[in-house]
Structure 1
């Protein structure tokens, strides 16, 4: 399986909790599709206290996993929004 690109995307998006609108990450996203996974190496700023849980409402928004041999967060559908 192919690894994610070594050259990081230049476009940065802010990721928020869909329930309480608290900011979770500042993330370098590639492509224009929906946010399905977040590679840990592409996270610029992490505002969460515990991984995969919102710091404000405590809701789980992702699961810790390996995608193509690289550590990533697999986003649970409808739990996050991005701008």
Structure 2
């Protein structure tokens, strides 16, 4: 389980169930288990504290901006 945080202000955004050892390029909405402090602004997912754009929202996933977030936790092996 990964905890996704804003790279600017280190605010927790959401918990994500990452399966596999690859990079976090996109997050599927069905695998987000808890939402902390994120907002939807148009087609973007932004940090609720500082307004940093974390991802672009597609139909069933978030296309992550790799410079805008950090994460802690462990990935689940396949």
* TM-score normalised by structure 1 residue count: 0.76
Residues in 1 aligned to 2:33 and 2:71: alpha-carbon distance in whole angstroms: 14
Max Rg structure: 1
1:4-42 Cα shifts (integer Å, max 9, x gaps) = xxxxxxxx1100001110001111001112110110000
What RMSD over aligned residues (CA atoms) do the two structures have, in Å?
1.1
User: Which ranges in structure 1 are unaligned for 5 or more consecutive residues?
Assistant: 1-11
Residues in 2 aligned to 1:40 and 1:19: alpha-carbon distance in whole angstroms: 23
Residues in 2 aligned to 1:80 and 1:36: alpha-carbon distance in whole angstroms: 11
* TM-score normalised by structure 2 residue count: 0.80
Report the number of matched residues.
Answer: 68
| Higher RCO (CA-CA < 8 Å; seq separation 6+) | 2
SS of equivalent residue, structure 1 residue 41: helix
Is the strand fraction higher in 1 or 2?
2
Matches within 5 A, 1:38-57: 38-51=27-40, 52-57=45-50
SS of equivalent residue, structure 2 residue 46: coil
User: Which ranges in structure 2 are unaligned for 5 or more consecutive residues?
Assistant: 73-78
